[in-house]
Amino acid sequence: MTISYKDRVAIVTGAGGGLGRAYALELAKRGAKVVVNDLGGSRDGTGHSDAALKVVEEIKSAGGEAMSNGGSVTEYEQMVEMVAKAKETWGGVHILINNAGILRDKSFAKMDMTDWKLVIDVHLNGSANCTKAVWDTMREQAYGRILMTASSTGLYGNFGQANYGAAKLGLAGFTKTLALEGAKYNVRVNTLAPVAGTRMTEDLGMPDMLFNALSPENVAPMALYLVSEDAPTNMICGAGAGAYHAAYVTLTPGVALPADDRTPEGIAAAWDQIIDRTGEIVPQSGGEQSQIVMAALTKIGGLGA
């Protein structure tokens, strides 16, 4: 069955190029009315351009509907205005893809805290600003699909990207709580960790063949599925070069130690049991960790210890 976005209004941030542009074009092609948001700056967050206008022109020339927005995701009031304009024009907002981002890469030893704060502000706080701006609307209309953009750096680390990685894993955590809070309002929230050859990654020294294989168009199918009507929720997925996968935050069964063994030495002695992944689970909320702790302690009669 063809997945359609007819009668849906979508906002894509950072949509003036790269991944965001690919998402916006495909959403519009499938019937969505699209707000193309892009401050238009360089990848370090400085400067401005008319990138969003060019994408809107592409969409309109193909017969779609779109409007540009040059607001900064770091300015909450500008995001509120963007949402209000979309609602005024098209009656609602059903999809939000938080894609806007910048890079300020340096090893942590050489990183200025200004670079730390700016990257956190754009990626993490920026996504929160956009999401907060649409949240009440999505709850009231009992429909919303939100996608956060994480990264393998956030999930697994990458040298020289402490600021970026902290922001990106923060977004995965943000997703998990919003998925719980939005569930009864039919608001589904997911995280995507894309691997793509874009302006953000063009100077990493990739061979041309690899860079071309990692086109944004190969990531777009996963992004669009995760904001579709039948999308899952509370997922962390990855996409790149036509390969698609899921990532999970898991919990091992661990071990409950008697009171006398609750020492650093006791932890050292039990380490192999603690990290044994046999029987690990994927908790669906933070409360499940507490439940597992209580169950383990009950087994050894340790609740009163």
Q: How far apart are CA 285 and CA 289, in angstroms?
A: 8
- Helix ranges, 141-236 (H): 152-156, 162-182, 208-213, 220-225
Strands (E), 196-295: 236-240, 243-247
Task: Report how far apart, in Å, the C-alpha atoms of 167 and of each of 98, 175, 246 are.
Answer: 13, 12, 19
Cα separation, 42 vs 103, in Å, equals: 10
Please work out, in degrees rounded to the nearest 5, the angle formed at the alpha carbon of residue 254 by the alpha carbons of 252 and 258.
Answer: 165
**248 part of the active site:** no
Amino acid at site 288: E
Residue tagged active-site, from 156, 164, 244, 248: 164
Give the catalytic positions in this structure. 164
